[in-house]
Amino acid sequence: MTTSRARSRYEDRLSEAARGMRFSAIRRMSALIERPGIISFAPGQPSPETFPVAAFQEIIAEVVARESAGAFQYILTRGLGSLIAAVQEYAAAKDMPTTAPEMLITEGSQQGLDLLSRVLLDPGDVVVVERPSYIGATSAFRASRARMVGVRLDDCGLDLDDLRRRHAECVGAGTTPKFLYVIPSFQNPSGISHDLDHRRGLLEAARDLDLLIVEDDPYGDLYFEAAPVATLRSMDGARVVYLSSFSKILAPGLRTAFLIGPEEILAKVEIAKQSANLCGSGLDQRVILACLKRGLIEAQKERIRPYYRAKRDTMLAALEAEMPDGVRWTRPAGGLFVWLTLPEGMDAEILLEAAVAEGVAYVAGGPFHVDGGGANTMRLTFAKEDAPTIAEGVRRLGRVVKRAVS
Ligand SMILES: Cc1ncc(COP(=O)(O)O)c(C=O)c1O
């Protein structure tokens, strides 16, 4: 009684934007799925087995010995100058040459997405996103009270006719979309990558429609087959704001990512960042710098690709063996996720309870769709469990799905 009265009293004190904020569907689902003994295909996290802890220990000791108290001082809002220079080199090696004012270090790409929302979006603005898309991004856009329009994502990339159609509908209704948000390589949640033709077509459409692109690329280096095709930023530097992160390659606890974009936009992002957190962690950034200088990041990529490839192979083979007719799934060439589609009319959120009772968990796919579709989809990660556990988890999931289908 007291609690609900107190809650409603504070509700009145909240901003309109805060009143509209909701915990993400994944967080709501986690109450159900984070139980001991459950085989979990749910978390959107890299495996801690891949974190190079011994190297971190050595590097942190070295940084503290060398920098002493300086390692714990505030740093520039944009990031350590020496790290920016090193990341410029890192980006140039991927055909994305940049000047220093075109680069900014953030505490994770999630912060980059939030800052971009703040400097690019007004309430009521439209952002075009893939359908499905990454919930962290759509939540950030929603927090700026933007409206989202979803464009169909096919196996080889964005449906470009749908993009032009949806754009025309927005313009016809009097709102020109502010930007297009895409994750072209091994997308979270679907594992889908845009092939070269789709990337070219996307840039051509963006030029025709005068559309700014925000390219989110945390998984591009986690490829299992051929190296992924060029980034959109490397294909058209003027039209693309690019984000990438060290979270999936090294460890998300180091909270270090980078943003590349036009100087004018980044100058505003810097001001927004100043009021968000003054600056990132000087210690984390010095550790990332040392990792770059030692060649540890490239070595780490070589090490973790076969690790995740083996897990992906186990999951795909198990799905092949266990899933009944009418169930489809993606075969990602990299990243951490497989996207499974149940027959039309089934609901993965409802099925989750039966799956948890069987001892396996996933994330239902509906919330990744900004238009309310996708009820019959789910995201499965192969990152967390070891190979025998993945096989057992898919067997359990297969039993649940077979029962529901029949
Ligand atoms: C597509 C995508 N973008 C951004 C992020 C944020 O990553 P971080 O803030 O750790 O760099 C994630 C994390 O899962 C992601 O999947």
User: 183 CB less than 6 Å from ligand 1?
Assistant: yes
Ligand 1 atom nearest residue 110's Cα: 9
pLDDT for position 214: 98
Which of 20, 28, 22, 23 lies closest to 364 in space, CA to CA? 28
User: 117 CB less than 6 Å from ligand 1?
Assistant: no
Burial group, residue 50, by CB count within 10 angstroms (0-12, 13-18, 19+): middle
DSSP state of 370: T
Show the DSSP H helices in 77-159 as ranges.
81-92, 109-120, 135-143
Residue 145 in tokens: 């009270």
Spacing, Cα 8 to ligand 1 middle (Å): 33
- A 10 A CB-CB count for 92 gives 11
User: 218 CB less than 6 Å from ligand 1?
Assistant: yes
Q: In whole angstroms, what is the distance from residue 42 CA to residue 363 CA?
A: 5
pLDDT for position 1: 41
Q: In whole angstroms, what is the distance from residue 301 CA to residue 50 CA?
A: 10
pLDDT in tens, 107-119: 999 999 999 999 9
Residue 115 in tokens: 């800052």
Q: Which residues pair with 153 in a beta bridge?
A: 158
Beta strands in 251-308 (DSSP E): 257-260
Average pLDDT over residues 157-175: 97
Average pLDDT over residues 146-170: 97
CA 24 to chain centre: 14
User: 216 CB less than 6 Å from ligand 1?
Assistant: yes
Spacing, Cα 329 to ligand 1 middle (Å): 22
pLDDT for position 2: 44
pLDDT in tens, 281-300: 999 999 999 999 999 999 99
pLDDT for position 7: 61
Tell me the pLDDT of the chain averaged across its residues.
94
pLDDT band at 16 (very low <50, low <70, confident <90, very high): confident
Cβ-Cβ contacts under 8 Å for 13 (sequence gap 6 or more): none
pLDDT in tens, 356-370: 999 999 999 999 999
Backbone angles phi, psi at 88, to 5 degrees: -60, -45
Spacing, Cα 107 to ligand 1 middle (Å): 11
Ligand 1 atom nearest residue 248's Cα: 10
